[in-house]
Amino acid sequence: MNKLEFNSILSKIGPLAFAAYSQEMTGLLPGISLPSIDFDVCAVQHLGGAESWPDTSEQKDGYGGWSWEEIYHKSKYSPEKFVIAVSSNGIFGGLFSGKLQATEVELQFVQRDIRCASLKGFMIPASITYSAILGLVMGRDVLTVCEPAPDIIERYRKSMKGNVSFTFGQKGEVTKMSVPVDEVVSPPTDQ
């Protein structure tokens, strides 16, 4: 599969991911007005928006402050790598990226513009849901979050929902969190 074909698949996953995300979040948060979320394959115009995001790497519980331009260019021609732009209520406010491996989808970077308040609390579940659906569509069995920020490991675990396994580094830090994709989202059934 070439990059153009892969990007076409990524574009088609967006509506599926939004439907699954909406169903799950409505069940978890009844009565809460959920933001409308759109997933798009990252384009150059998204990079300009991300450049203006405040650097929060020293102020919050996540990492942040990545060069999305560098991440984008490393994935630009690779049919295994993806960068997805997330908009909430029509406002671009987040990016996530990852890579397809032989048996898994790796979610490598997730960042939200702190000024996009409507994505607060929703960016991690949205990126997890999208990545799990990508795994189902592409025949990958496992979703892995790589090097999660220590203070938000529990948020990732809750969003991953299933029987999450952890891989630890030499200093005891979590280097990977993995879960079967069908424990995050259910495969579609023929009716």
Per-residue pLDDT of the chain (191 residues; tens, 9 = 90+): 999 999 999 999 999 999 888 887 777 777 777 788 999 999 999 998 999 888 877 666 666 778 999 999 999 999 999 999 999 999 999 999 999 999 999 999 999 999 999 999 889 999 999 999 999 999 999 999 999 988 889 999 999 988 999 999 999 999 999 999 999 987 654 44
Residue 22 burial (C-beta neighbours within 10 Å; 0-12, 13-18, 19+):
middle
Residues 179 and 163 sit within 8 Å (Cβ to Cβ) = yes
pTM over 0.75: yes
| Rg (alpha carbons) of the chain, rounded to whole number | 16
162 Cβ neighbours under 8 A, 6+ residues apart = 179, 180, 183, 184
Residue 176 pairs in a beta bridge with: 146, 167
What are the structural domains, with CATH classification, of the chain? 3-184 (3.40.630.30)
Token pair listed for 165: 């396994």
C-alpha to C-alpha distance for 79 and 72, rounded to whole angstroms: 13
Token pair listed for 113: 């513009």
51 Cβ neighbours under 8 A, 6+ residues apart = 68, 69
Q: Would strands 104-112 and 142-146 be described as parallel, antiparallel, or unpaired?
A: parallel
